[in-house]
Structure 1
Amino acid sequence: MTSSRTTPTLRDLAVFTGRPQHQNFCRMAEMLPSRTMAPSSRPSTLPEGEPSGLPPAYRFEGTTRSTSAFLSDTDTAALLVLVDGRVRHEHYALSGGPDVPWMSMSVAKSFVSALVGIALDEGHIPSLDAAVSDFVPVRPGSAYDGVCVRDVLRMSSGARWTEDYSDPRSEVFRLVQESESGGSLAEFVASMEREYEPGTVCRYNSADTVVLGLLVSRATGRGLADYMREKLCEPLGMVSPGHWLVDSRGIELAYYGLNLTARDYARLGELYRNGGVWQGIRVLPAEWVTDSVTVGSPHCEPGRVLGGQGPLGYGYQWWIPEGDRGEFSAIGVYNQYVYVDPAGATTIVKLSANRTFGTSPDEATNRERETLTLLRAIAAHNT
């Protein structure tokens, strides 16, 4: 159900200004227009494993740093560690809690990718070579005209874009303003300009995920929340209600607007860790999972992603750290993570409200590379 009440906007919340946000990120679905997804009719509790602590310290940029200090400094509201599908560590702070739905930010992109894979498997999308403009109306010659689904999944549409949260003049700020001011996300992406030849440059671009969300809705004839409720919430046994924020036209904000509990976020990581199977039931094709978390083109390799953070490559709306360990992660601003280390059978969820995020483009405030370093240390500590 979509709320129509008068609500504050992200600008009213002063995001990316240094203002604390932990009291907001735990109740975004109450504050902003949203659509609710009921929990599964067959909810499944994550099994408990032998409790394990966290490493007291980790190494980053040549120095030893305190784990507890980092979690506090980045306003961590939830930290959940699963090994072999069992909960080994679970901690909540600030306004977080086991039943608290938290703002996904761009972690939502990986859920949208899963829905694209399901729609493809069901035949709603004929192939990844199909043009997104066959489903999503765009202006002739504009950024997404004739661009194939695969290139949009890889953030390789070629659309002109700047994803700079410290610059209020950037395209990502314009996208947010459009969704809050009565404009249409569909109209926004329909008129975007092309900068690169599609499939040649990987540039992180939230509008690409907006297009994927519209693609799923147009191809299936269903809203994103409705489709996700049936195809992910139900089979994954999600225990708590989930929510998608919507724009002023009632369209789900595919690029950042998901709200779930830490345990329900972890279910997507576990689904991908197990090759698309959840508790013996296939939810996603194995080939889709493999392709999603593999760098499939040289321009998506670590270090070549424009707007990326350090040594990370890109798959189908999943980040892929450099190295041969096979890790992958969903990542959102303010330090939201669903990190998966298949070699260590580990899935880690970190939900945060790092108040310094976006106040500059620097690692010193955003702390994305450092977060990944800590998550790797936690995975090594627990395996």
Structure 2
Amino acid sequence: MHKRTGFLSSFVLGTLCAAAQPAVAQQMLPPVLTEGPPSTVPVAVQIARWRMLDGDINALTFRSMDRLFTTRTVAHAGAPWRLPRADAALDFTYGFGGKNYTAQDFLDRTYTNALLVMKDGKIVSEIYRNNSDENSRFIAWSMTKSITSLLVGCALTEGRIKSIDDNIATYLPELKGGGYDGVTIRQILQMRSGVDYEERYDFANPGVAARNHIAALVKNVARFADVARTAKRLHKPGSVFQYKTLDTAVLGWLIERVSGTSVAAYTAQKLWEPMGAEQDGFYIMDGQPGVGREFSGAGFNATLRDFARIGQMMLDNGRANGRQVIPADWVRTSTAPSTPADANAPGMPTGYAMQWWVLDDKGAYSALGLQGQYIYVDPRSRTVVVKISYFPPGDEKPTAETAAFLQAVSAWSPK
């Protein structure tokens, strides 16, 4: 009895002491997230979104976006496009920084979650790491821009867009009187809108892009594309290449307007179903259905194989699953350089086309996404490579090393 009484006394005393302390929230928002309108997104989720790029967790977050965001499904349907296999060991080396490395070295050195290599329409290597597998759906980041370009091509072919040389405000009158008024769809596709929107994500000292990211994607209190309504003009349209996700968000808004449906539904109808995707994809949203839009500049998610199907379709001039999915002339037009590749650029020499990056002057191009996402297409060697990565933020060395690997894998002939 004495021991039990002592226990109860200690318990009561501890409870009273705890009650006397001021309540402390489990988590506190960083000061920059407390600015502006209040968000209904739970604090813990806002913090997780805020930190999703961090190098110590992005191997997981980059394949868990449906746990962090409201999403909209891009449904697959019917029998998938069968990709034949001719499995082979990646038995080549590549040079980087004065040394030679094996393909296995590459996986570790460049933070690879998954890698798929196709030669002449056949899968020769498919590798999953860090507990990912064939069912994992990975964030494309800015590879999404290339998908958005494909949708613009579909809308053009259908006559929903009369010409890519039309003023964007003809289709989106909400943009009249602002920086986008008088800018053509072609100029936006080429990242030559001239609009003042610096693609800089210094969250310690946030500018317009970082604040838009916070408001739209972390807090869901604004729509990402709506900044285009008030954006100012910095350069004459068409005169200066300046990469900006806002341009692609405007293209997504255009697709929504001319199709009369959601970007996700149009993606399913014009790309995902006819291409013969194996699994559903999805977009992350910048708000709840009814107010939110798909993040068409960087928010698409899919499996490794379905990204490979996009690459093979591009290699085959828009044909997939026995049908012409994307018009062949749009494949050629959208991958033709508008900004030539700079062979002296640090890391991967790149130019730009229409939401595709041009990697050299011999025809290789790629969809590229933040922190190491690639759909690489080399028509010369009929090579497609999909690399899903988790580069540490701000680390450029894996990009340069990946460029060396892609050149080597293009030159490689499987035995």
**TM-score, normalising length: structure 1:** 0.90
In structure 2, C-alpha distance between the alignment counterparts of 1:91 and 1:194, rounded to whole Å: 45
Shift of 1:159: 1.4
Count of residues in correspondence between the two structures: 368
8 Å contact kept, 2:351–2:358: yes
In structure 2, C-alpha distance between the alignment counterparts of 1:197 and 1:188, rounded to whole Å: 19
Shift of 1:55: 4.3
In structure 1, C-alpha distance between the alignment counterparts of 2:156 and 2:346, rounded to whole Å: 27
Shift of 1:17: 4.1
1:62-83 Cα offsets, whole Å, 9 max, x none, are: 3323432332233211100111
For 1:91, what is the secondary structure of its paired residue? strand
In structure 2, C-alpha distance between the alignment counterparts of 1:226 and 1:232, rounded to whole Å: 10
Shift of 1:372: 2.0
Identify the residue that residue 294 of structure 2 maps to in structure 1. 252
In structure 2, C-alpha distance between the alignment counterparts of 1:76 and 1:368, rounded to whole Å: 12
Identify the residue that residue 374 of structure 1 maps to in structure 2. 405
In structure 2, C-alpha distance between the alignment counterparts of 1:110 and 1:143, rounded to whole Å: 24
In structure 2, C-alpha distance between the alignment counterparts of 1:68 and 1:267, rounded to whole Å: 24
User: Which region of structure 1 is more displaced relative to structure 2, 340-349 or 187-196?
Assistant: 187-196
The change in CA–CA distance for 1:31 and 1:271 in structure 2 (over 3 A counts) is same
Mapping 1:171-190, distance limit 5 Å: 171-180=208-217, 181=219, 182-190=221-229
RMSD value over aligned CA atoms? 2.3
Find runs of 4+ consecutive structure 1 residues off by over 6 angstroms.
none
Identify the residue that residue 374 of structure 2 maps to in structure 1. 337
In structure 2, C-alpha distance between the alignment counterparts of 1:332 and 1:121, rounded to whole Å: 27
Q: Given the alignment of the two structures, is residue 100 of structure 1 paired with residue 136 of structure 2, yes or no? A: yes
Shift of 1:120: 0.4
| Pairing partner for 1:213 from 252, 256, 269 | 252
Shift of 1:16: 4.3
In structure 1, C-alpha distance between the alignment counterparts of 2:302 and 2:368, rounded to whole Å: 15
1:308-354 Cα offsets, whole Å, 9 max, x none, are: 96521111100001232x11100001100000011111111001112
Identify the residue that residue 84 of structure 1 maps to in structure 2. 120
Mapping 1:17-36, distance limit 5 Å: 17-36=54-73
For 2:178, what is the secondary structure of its paired residue? coil
In structure 2, C-alpha distance between the alignment counterparts of 1:88 and 1:10, rounded to whole Å: 40
Shift of 1:9: 3.7
Identify the residue that residue 192 of structure 1 maps to in structure 2. 231
8 Å contact kept, 1:137–1:190: no
For 1:196, what is the secondary structure of its paired residue? coil
Q: Which has the larger radius of gyration?
A: 2
Identify the residue that residue 264 of structure 1 maps to in structure 2. 306
Identify the residue that residue 323 of structure 2 maps to in structure 1. 281
Mapping 1:119-158, distance limit 5 Å: 119-158=155-194
Structure with the higher fraction of residues in helix conformation: 2
The change in CA–CA distance for 1:289 and 1:343 in structure 2 (over 3 A counts) is same
| Pairing partner for 2:353 from 279, 304, 315 | 315
The change in CA–CA distance for 1:323 and 1:62 in structure 2 (over 3 A counts) is farther
Q: Given the alignment of the two structures, is residue 164 of structure 1 paired with residue 203 of structure 2, yes or no? A: no
The AA in structure 2 aligned to 1:155 is M
In structure 2, C-alpha distance between the alignment counterparts of 1:9 and 1:286, rounded to whole Å: 42
The change in CA–CA distance for 1:279 and 1:240 in structure 2 (over 3 A counts) is closer
Shift of 1:294: 1.0
The change in CA–CA distance for 1:304 and 1:33 in structure 2 (over 3 A counts) is farther
Identify the residue that residue 387 of structure 2 maps to in structure 1. 350
The change in CA–CA distance for 1:67 and 1:175 in structure 2 (over 3 A counts) is farther
In structure 1, C-alpha distance between the alignment counterparts of 2:349 and 2:137, rounded to whole Å: 30
8 Å contact kept, 1:132–1:144: yes
In structure 1, C-alpha distance between the alignment counterparts of 2:268 and 2:109, rounded to whole Å: 35
Identify the residue that residue 242 of structure 1 maps to in structure 2. 281
Identify the residue that residue 364 of structure 2 maps to in structure 1. 327
The AA in structure 1 aligned to 2:257 is R
For 1:331, what is the secondary structure of its paired residue? strand
Shift of 1:152: 0.3
| Identity of matched residues, % | 33
The change in CA–CA distance for 1:166 and 1:85 in structure 2 (over 3 A counts) is farther
Shift of 1:141: 4.0
Q: Given the alignment of the two structures, is residue 111 of structure 1 paired with residue 147 of structure 2, yes or no? A: yes
For 1:8, what is the secondary structure of its paired residue? helix
Shift of 1:374: 0.8
Shift of 1:139: 4.7
| Pairing partner for 2:396 from 349, 357, 363 | 363
The AA in structure 1 aligned to 2:322 is G
User: Which region of structure 1 is more displaced relative to structure 2, 178-187 or 285-294?
Assistant: 178-187
In structure 1, C-alpha distance between the alignment counterparts of 2:122 and 2:202, rounded to whole Å: 38
Shift of 1:11: 6.0
